[in-house]
Amino acid sequence: MNDTLNKIIDEIKHFRSQGYTGFEGLVIELESIIEDYEAEKEQNNGI
């Protein structure tokens, strides 16, 4: 996986673990995008 994407995922996990809510909608959206990316990646690796 791309190092930059890993950094983004780590930052989001840290952000959420700290209980921040100011950008919660944005964070939820980014999590959704990442989940979609990971699912697509797994599907592509399974082919």
Tens of pLDDT, residue by residue over 2-25, are 788 888 778 777 777 777 666 777
Cβ-count burial of 1 within 10 angstroms (0-12 exposed, 13-18 middle, 19+ buried)? Answer: exposed
pLDDT at 6: 84
Instruction: Give the orientation angle of helix 3-17 with respect to helix 24-45, to 10 degrees.
Output: 140
- Does this model's pTM top 0.95? My answer is no
Asked if residue 1 has pLDDT above 80, the reply is: no
Please compute the mean of the pLDDT values over residues 15-43 and round it to a whole number: 79
Please give the residue that has the higher pLDDT: either 38 or 16: 38
